[in-house]
Every structure is written in C-alpha cells, then in structure tokens.
Amino acid sequence: MLHLKNLAARTFAFAVCAFLLAAPAAAATDKNPVAGASPAQLDDATCLSCHQSGSARIEISDGDDERALAHVDPAKLDKSVHAKQQCVSCHTDIVDAKANHAKAAGVAKPDCISCHEQLWDDARKTGVDKTRPRLGIVVDNIVAYRNSFHARPDADNPDQPKALCHQCHATHEFAVPPQGGPARDQWRLTIPQTCGAQCHEDQLEEFEESAHGKLVMGKGDPRGAICTDCHTAHEVVGASSDPFKLKNVEACGGCHKDKLKSYRDTYHGQVHKLGFTYTAKCSNCHGSHGILGVNEPDSKIHPDNRLKTCQSCHNGKKDGLPLATEGFLSFGPHANSHDFEKYPQMWITTKFMVGLLIAVFTFFWLHCLLWYYREWQERKARKTETRIHAEAALGPYAGKHFVRFAWGWRVAHLLFALITMTLVLTGTTVMFANSSWAPVVAGALGGPKVLGLIHRIAAACFVGIFMIHFIYVMQKLLRDRNFRWFGPDSLVPNWKDFTDCWNMFKWFLGKGPRPQFDRWTYFEKFDYWAVFWGVNIIGWSGLMLAFPHVTAKYLPGWIFNVATLVHGEEAFLAAVFLFTVHFFNNHFRPDKLPPPDVVMFTGTQSIDEFRHEHPAQYQRLVESGEIEKYLVDAPSRQMHIGSVILGLTLITAGLVLLVLVTTGFFKI
C-alpha cells in the first residue's frame, strides 16, 4: 500500500511539472500556429505521442467520407527499413504538433516514389551508390510500377492510381526479410491477405478454396503459390495481355519443372515458347485462382469435366479449331518418355526411335569417316584414279559425257530438295521452339499459323511429287517385260549390295580392293528407299496431327503424343542424314572435292568419272556395245557454271539448316 501511495505522489508531481513547462509553448502556439513548432522541433516522440499504437482513434476527411489513420507500432518501426528515418523526413509538409496539422505552403504530401528517386540520385552524385545497391533496386521497381496495371487511374477515383505503395508495403513497418529464412516464409504467408483483403476479395475467396490456397492459408505452408509468384510484385500487368500470359507459364514452371518440360513437347507449349499465346496455357486447363487437384469433382481437369475444358478452345468456332471429341480425353498434355507405368506407348516409341537414330547415325557416320580416311590416304599416296584423264584407256570415248539422269529425275530431285528444306525449316522452328533462333524465324515468317500453312502446303507438294514419281516408275517397269527386279538396273536391294557393303569396309581398312559398283550403289539405294520410309512415317503421323478431330474419332488421344514424337524424330533423322551423310557421299569426299558434284543438275558426268564411280556398269555397257547410246558432248560452259551456282546454293542452305537443327537439338 505504501508503495502505491509513493507511486501516486510521484506521478502527480510529474504531471504538475509537465503542465508548467508546457504552458509557455502552448501560449506561443496559440499566437502563431505555424511558427509554434518547425519541422526541426517535431521529433519522433512528439509524433508518436498521438500516432503510436494504443492512442486515440484519429480520423481525417477524405472527400465526403471520414478515413481513420493507421497507428504506428514503434516496435515494428524499429525493425523496418525506415527505422533510422525521422517522421518529418517524409512528412515534410507537417509544421506543427496540433490536431489538424497546419501544412506548409507549396510542400507536397509524402511520396514514396519521389523520395526514393531523390535518394538514388543523391547516392549516385556522392558516389555511394555502389555501397547501397538496394536503393537502385527500389528505383527499378518504381519504373516497373509506373508501367504496371496498378499505376493506371482508378475507375472510381481517376485522380489516384489503382494501388499506391503504402497499400501493399505498410510504409511505417515495411521490412522484407532476407530470402531463405523462416521470417521470409512467414512474410510470404501474409501476401494473399495484403492483395485480397484490400482490393481483390473475390479472387481471395476463390484462392482460399484452391489447391494453392489450402496449402498457404489452410496449412500455413509457404511453399504454395501466392499472388506475387504469378503476378509479380511491381510489374503487374493485365492478365489478358500477352506479356502476362507468356510469363505466367514460366511462373508455373518455376515450381512444376517436370510439367513445364512435358508441356514444351506438345504443340501447345511449342507455339507458346515461340512467343505466341493463342494455344492452351496452364490456366486454360487448370484455371487461375481456383486451381484444384485432378481428383476434385469441381476441377477443370477432372475426367468428368475434361472434355468441356478441351472444348473451351476446340469448340468448332474459335480460330477454326474443330470440335473436340471423346478421343481427346486420353491425350497426355504432360506425357513423357520415361514413365512406362503411366505412358507405356510413349516409352516404347521413344526407345524405338532412339535406337533407330543411334543405329543409322552410328553406321553411316562411321562409313563416312572411314571412307574419307581411305580416299585421303590414297590421295596422299597418289593412287587415286578419280577424275583422271586417261584418254588412251578410254579410246574413242575420251572427252565424252555419260547420261546418268534423265530430265524428269533431275527436276524431281530439285523440287524434292527445295520442298524438303522448306519442311525442315518450318517444322524444326516449332520442334525446337526452345532454341534461340526459332522465335526469330517464326516472327520473320509471320508466326506459327503461317509456318503451319507453309508446312502443310510443302508436305502436300512433297507427297504429290512422290506419288507422281512412284506411278511413273511402276507403270514403266510393269510395261517392260524384260526388266529384272533384282538385276543391275533395278533399285531393289539384292545380294550384291550386301556383298559390296562388306567389301567396302574391307577396302576402308586396307583388307581388299574397292568394290566394282554397277548402276546403283548400296548407299544410293538406301537414299532412295529412305524416302519411302520417311513419306509413310512422317506423312501419316503428320496427317493425324493436321486433322485431330478425324484422328480422335477413330483412335485414342494418346496417338497424338506418339504421332508428335514420331513425326519430329523421323524428320530430325531425315534432315541430319541428308545434310551430313548424303552431302558427304555426293559432294565432300576427297574424290569429289571441290564441291559440288553437278551430275544431278546437268544429268551427265565425264566418262572417266563414270568409269571410276560405276566400273561394273561401264564394263557391262562396253561389252554389250550399248555405251554409245548414253554418250553426249560435255554440257555448255553456261550450263556447267549455272549448275555449280545452284549446287553451292543448295549445299549452303542445307548446311545452314544443319546448324539450326543441331543448335536446336542442344537447345542453344
């Protein structure tokens, strides 16, 4: 009791002293409100006497309404980034300590943006910007904010932006904890309320019921996605804009990396990676704020709802997309080639295609390397007989040219070359959308839709020429009753081809003489029949993808995954084979240097070259006396020069495509 009495007495004495000391100041203030207290006399303690937590409620007029001022918690202020700032450092317009403060004339209200820009300018002028880099980060955020959706005028109050700094940051208490610590995790959990409670109530309500919301707001798990993960913090843009759509997929992929990778393997993801947003994105299938798991009855990807989700785009109206049917349901938008249990068709197909690529490239690249080595060694030893001018040995045939290809073959070859390069360029641009060059090519050619149109036209032309060639050859062969299907003039593989191949490898290794080839070599027959294989594999898979509504009517949806894989891998095989093995065999062997070999453009080759390349046919024609039927004068100089220019042009284009395909394969 005595203690309480002493305490009361001391409190009373302190109050009396405070009153006596304050009276002169109050009198001076009454005479001159503005001069009564300058900003230098307003310290934090004076401000906090009214504005700290626990003080009486303070309301100010805000138009026609009264708005309560937020109180300041000194404990939180001391931990914030503004802890060392004085109140009047920001509130420069306040000049007294009275209620309803008098404001200095011509002084702006506190403004985060102008303050931080001034701080950064001062830091750069004084040379301390290197030691205070965060000031520069804030200015970068200001630039992003000014271009953001939040900086636009508010519809209800056009004089103000949609969101101000203090609405998100609570300026008196602002302190973003460093990344990687528990404080940062706890801070993340507050962001949905910051965004939702003030402005986005409907989205917050939907988010709370979502898979992300249940994780963040239900379980308090900071690993769940929050507003700023998808919308960013300062450069918030409209969700319907292309920049947002492009970045939003990347934002989802930041957590769901395996799903992003598999999405990129689909046409939807490839077009999106090229910088176009008209194909399905994460939000089209999963929703945005109300994302639910696949087993949730209300989920957009629940089996009962999936067809409706597909039909939101594939509705028979939008962009000419045909109506999605039941077959679409088994399409795997995230199918991969390593999960046999879930995607057995993809696993098996991938193993087959990888095996095919390894087998073909291993055999033929080894074939090329050994051939190059052998011819180069013989050239060094001066044993090669390529392009010799042995007029004495050739007798009356010296100086003549041998007609190897009729004009129809040459025209078909040129068209095939041009169309194939077009198909490779347009197809691999989409296939390797992750590469640095693909978006540039896509933009230059008018976008994926134009690429698709060009690709389909070129494919139709390719198939058309192939069918014309096939019908022409077959009707000609069927009319010729003397034609031997396995004879020397036939392109059908025979036992001699296997023998020649074996003897060729023996020659590579110096274990035997070079084989005596007849009209067609085994590697030329492979080139020829590879077109038949490619047209069927690439053609049928391409048709399935070009007409999905027809495909899905008769086949399950997973066929789209398999067709996409087969179409792309076989096209990759064809392109790399043509621009490496085919180019080497016909243009880059030591015997062929310098390129190009123009026989496919002029239709003829010198008799000595023909005798070297196809000695068995040469001998057979000489013995039968038929060789003179195939001998002509050498092409004119103009014809030769034109053929060289054309050949070099096509070779250059092919090598450029090879570089693009290779860099695309390695995602460079």
Range of 624's domain?
A: 344-367+408-665
Helix (H/G/I), strand (E/B), else coil: 402: strand
Q: Give residues with Cβ within 8 angstroms of 108, minimum separation 6.
A: 92, 93, 114
In this predicted structure, what is the pLDDT of residue 609?
93
- Considering the domain boundaries, does residue 181 fall inside one? no
pLDDT at 1: 42
645 lies in a domain? yes
> pLDDT tens digits for 148-170?
999 999 888 888 899 999 889 88
d(CA 570, CA 621): 39
Residue 199 lies in a domain: no
Asked if residue 311 belongs to a domain, the reply is no
Which pLDDT belongs to residue 170? 84
Left, alpha or beta for 487 (phi > 0: left; psi -120 to 50: alpha)? beta
Q: Rounded distance, CA 513 to CA 507, Å?
A: 5
CATH of residue 621's domain is 1.20.950.20
- How much is the pTM? 0.84
Closest CA to 403 of 600, 598, 604, 606: 604
Closest CA to 375 of 653, 612, 146: 612
The per-residue pLDDT for 387 is 42
> Is 90 among the domain residues?
no
Q: What is the pLDDT of residue 10?
A: 40
Under DSSP, the state recorded for 493 is -
Does 604 map to a domain?
A: yes
In a domain, 307, yes or no: no
In this structure, are residues 404 and 620 in contact, taking their beta carbons and an 8 Å threshold? Answer: no
pLDDT score at 393: 59
Structural domain count of the chain = 2
Where does 547-636 have alpha helices with state H?
Answer: 548-554, 558-577, 583, 599-602, 607-613, 615-624
176 within some domain: no
Neighbour-count burial of 560, counting CB atoms closer than 10 A to its CB (0-12 exposed, 13-18 middle, 19+ buried) = buried
CA distances from 361 to 214, 368, 503, 536 (A): 52, 10, 20, 20
SS3 415: helix
319: how many CB neighbours lie within 10 A of its CB?
10
Cα–Cα dist 87/72, whole Å: 11
Q: What is residue 95's predicted lDDT score, i.e. its pLDDT? A: 85
Beta strands 401-403 and 59-62, pairing class: unpaired
175 CB-near residues (< 8 Å, 6+ apart) = 76, 79, 80, 81
Q: Report DSSP letters for 430-481, one per residue.
A: HHTTTSSSHHHHHHHTT-HHHHHHHHHHHHHHHHHHHHHHHHHHHHHHHH-T
How many C-beta neighbours within 10 Å does residue 122 have?
Answer: 12
Q: What is the pLDDT of residues 424-446, one digit of tens each?
A: 999 999 999 999 999 999 999 99
Q: 395: alpha, beta or left, given left = phi > 0 and alpha = psi -120 to 50?
A: left
Preceding omega of 110 cis (within 30 degrees of 0) = no
Tokens of 448: 């994926």
Determine the pLDDT at residue 63: 64
* Radius of gyration of the chain measured on its C-alpha atoms: 40
Task: State how far Cα 7 lies from the chain centre.
Answer: 74
pLDDT less than 70: residues of the chain: 1-41, 62-64, 382-395
The vertex-302 CA angle with 297 and 308, nearest 5°, equals 105
Residue 532 Ramachandran class (φ > 0 left, ψ -120 to 50 alpha, else beta): alpha
